[in-house]
Homo-oligomer: A and B are copies of this chain.
Amino acid sequence: MNIGKWSIDKYNFTEEEIKLTLSHFVPQQMKANEFFLKAGEISNFIGYVTRGLLRSYFYDDQANEITTGFFAEGSLIVAADSFNNRFPSKEYIKAIEDVEMSVISYKDQMELYQQIPAWHQICKELGDIKISEMLERAESFQTLSAHERYQQFCEAYPNLLQRVNLGYIASFIGVDNATLSRIRKKK
C-alpha cells in the first residue's frame, strides 16, 4: 500500500529546490467516483493525496474486480507499471471519497531531473519504497493464511476499515467476499 512512508523531510532539499519542486505540483480536486486513471490510458500523473481516499483495481479474466491498492491522505497515487514503462494501464484508479491532492505530470516530472539534482535521489527512494512494499505484499500472500492476511491488514490500516467496502478489502487480500465475512465473525 501507499500510506505515510514518504515524507519530503527525508531529503536534503535546498530551499530553492523545495520551491521549484512544489511549483510543479498543482492542486486539484476530485469528486467521489471520478477517475484518476482509466484502464487503457497511459498514466501521466503522480498525485499526492492531502484529503480523501482513492482505490486502484483491475478486472481479471473472469471479470472480477480486483482491488490492488488504497491511497489515503499522505499517499502518492501512482500506477507504477504504466507511469514508469509508458504503456496502457490495466488498472483503474477511482476516488472513493472526495479528494484533494497535488499532481505533477510525467513531462514536468521528467524536467525536474534537469532542474533539481536531488530529484534523482527522490525518485530512487520512491522506487525503493515501492519495491519494499511489494516484496512485503508478495510475502504475505506466500506465507500467511487468509485470516492472518486480514489481521495484518487491520493492523496496518485500521482507519481504512471504516472507510471502504469490505468487498474491496476482500479482493485486496485475495479472498472471497463470503470468506472474509466469516473470517470477521470468528473474532
Which residues of A are at the interface with B, using a C-beta cutoff of 8 A?
60, 64, 66, 68, 80-81, 84-85, 120, 123-124, 127-128, 130-132, 134-135, 137-139, 141-143, 171-172, 174
Contacts and interface: CB of A to CB of B under 8 A. Distances in A.
28 contacts: A60-B143, A64-B143, A66-B139, A66-B143, A68-B138, A80-B128, A80-B132, A81-B131, A81-B132, A81-B135, A84-B128, A84-B132, A120-B124, A123-B124, A124-B124, A124-B127, A127-B127, A127-B131, A131-B131, A131-B134, A134-B137, A137-B138, A138-B138, A138-B141, A141-B141, A142-B171, A142-B172, A143-B174
Secondary structure at the A interface, as helix, strand, loop or mixed, is: helix
Q: Which 8 residue pairs of A and B lie closest in terms of their CB atoms, listed nearest first? A: A141-B141, A134-B134, A127-B127, A84-B128, A142-B174, A137-B138, A60-B143, A120-B120
Most buried by B among A81, A123, A138: A138
Contacts of A127: 124, 127-128, 131
Contact of A128 (B64, B85, B172, B174): B85
A84 B139 CA distance: 18
Nearest to A126: B127
Contact of A174 (B80, B85, B141, B171): B141
A135 B171 CA distance: 15
A80 B124 contact: no
Given A85-B128, A124-B124, A66 B142 contact: yes
Contacts of A142: 66, 68, 141, 171-172, 174
A92 to B, nearest CB: 15
A124 to B, nearest CB: 7
Contacts of A172: 142
A60 B143 CA distance: 7
